[in-house]
């Protein structure tokens, strides 16, 4: 019989759990609640909360909104969002993750320190990602975003560099970037770096790699837009090339369920446990096995 197993370490991180609880709490009060952007990069969970009444809006719609209640998700927001809320009499339910909030404060302090304009504040992160927009906003848009080592090569090494990271980036690449800058920074300039990667993601990696390597076939459950989903899935692929990214039961490919002894189901910090369980039960059913 083919063994099917869920990775117990996968699923929502505490930042996402808190944001969803806050949304559920507010919705239970019966008032209209808007959320600025998808509450989590997982369309199934977004649909579940929509069915409970949560209305997702984008930044353009937010600017037009007045006298309403809006939830800010775990990724955080730039200062302009709070200014708009104040002007439009919008009540903010702030679910910014404390880890992101701390990072925002550090970047703001860094930006406010005197450096005669000679300092480059660099954020290793994904351009356009909500968290990164919130971080860049702390430096009034002056921070430089680099997505990978290749882009670090374009920095001005004759000027001081302060390096930070988006919370969900890869630790390995962060340290490659640090090494590269150290090797190239001018003797007249200073380089300081801060590992601001969230351990809710980084600490999962060794376990996830072990889990992926211990099965013949892996279904990695994640929304396609999730940044930590892409990163954690690539870790699975490294140790198990028979890993597949899916975000619903419709994406389970029956042709993969043959000539194997074990199947693992795992996911990102933005993947709800209920969705992994649904996929687990569907696989069991397709294999003709009893479910949970």
Kindly tell me which of 177 and 198 has the beta carbon lying closer to ligand SF4. Answer: 198
Site for ligand SF4 in 64-83 (CB under 6 A): 74
Is 200 one of the binding residues for ligand SF4 (CB under 6 A)? yes
Distance CA(101)–CA(87), nearest Å, equals 22
Distance CA(177)–CA(197), nearest Å, equals 14
| Residue 191: φ, ψ to 5° | -130, 120
Q: How far is the CB of 167 from ligand SF4 (least distance, A)?
A: 4
Among all residues, which ones are annotated catalytic? 131
**What is the CB-side half-sphere exposure of residue 118 using CA atoms within 13 A?**
12
Q: Provide the total of helices (H) and of strands (E) in the chain, helices listed first.
A: 12, 12
Kindly tell me which of 100 and 146 has the beta carbon lying closer to ligand SF4. Answer: 100
Is 42 one of the binding residues for ligand SF4 (CB under 6 A)? no
> By CB under 6 A, which span of 12-20, 63-71, 106-114, 145-153 interacts with ligand SF4?
12-20
| Residue 227: φ, ψ to 5° | -70, -50
Interaction mask 213-242, ligand SF4, x per CB under 6 A: ------------------------------
75 has binding-site annotation: yes
Partner residues linked to 144 by β-bridges: 122
Structure tokens at 116: 């005669």
Nearest to 79 by CA among 98, 60, 101: 101
> By CB under 6 A, which span of 56-64, 133-141, 197-205, 256-264 interacts with ligand SF4?
197-205
Q: Write out the residues near ligand SF4 by the rule CB under 6 A.
A: 13-16, 74, 97, 99-100, 167-168, 198, 200-201, 269
């Amino acid at each position: 019989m083919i063994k099917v197993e869920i990775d117990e370490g996968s699923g929502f991180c505490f930042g996402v759990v808190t944001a969803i609880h806050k949304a559920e709490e507010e919705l239970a009060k019966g008032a209209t609640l808007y959320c600025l952007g998808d509450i989590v990069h997982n369309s199934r969970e977004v649909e579940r909360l929509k069915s409970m009444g949560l209305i997702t809006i984008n930044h353009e719609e937010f600017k037009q909104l007045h006298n309403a209640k809006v939830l800010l998700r775990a990724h955080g927001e730039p200062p302009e969002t709070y200014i708009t809320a104040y002007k439009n009499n919008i009540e903010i339910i702030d679910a910014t993750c404390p880890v992101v909030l701390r990072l925002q404060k550090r970047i703001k302090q860094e930006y406010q320190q005197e450096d005669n304009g000679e300092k480059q504040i660099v954020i290793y992160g994904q351009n356009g990602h909500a968290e990164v927009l919130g971080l860049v906003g702390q430096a009034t848009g002056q921070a430089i975003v680099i997505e990978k080592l290749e882009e670090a090569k374009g920095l001005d090494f004759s000027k001081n560099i302060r390096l930070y990271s988006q919370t969900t980036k890869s630790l390995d690449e962060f340290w490659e970037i640090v090494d590269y800058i150290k090797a190239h920074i001018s003797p007249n300039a200073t380089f300081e770096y801060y590992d601001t990667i969230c351990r809710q993601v980084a600490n999962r990696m060794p376990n996830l790699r072990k889990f992926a390597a211990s099965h013949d076939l892996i279904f990695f459950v994640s929304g396609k837009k999730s940044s930590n989903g892409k990163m954690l899935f690539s870790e699975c692929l490294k140790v198990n090339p028979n890993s597949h990214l899916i975000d619903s039961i419709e994406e389970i490919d029956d042709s993969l369920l043959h000539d194997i002894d074990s199947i693992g189901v795992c996911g990102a910090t933005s993947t709800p446990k209920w969705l992994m369980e649904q996929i687990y039960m569907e696989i069991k059913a397709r294999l003709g096995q009893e479910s949970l």
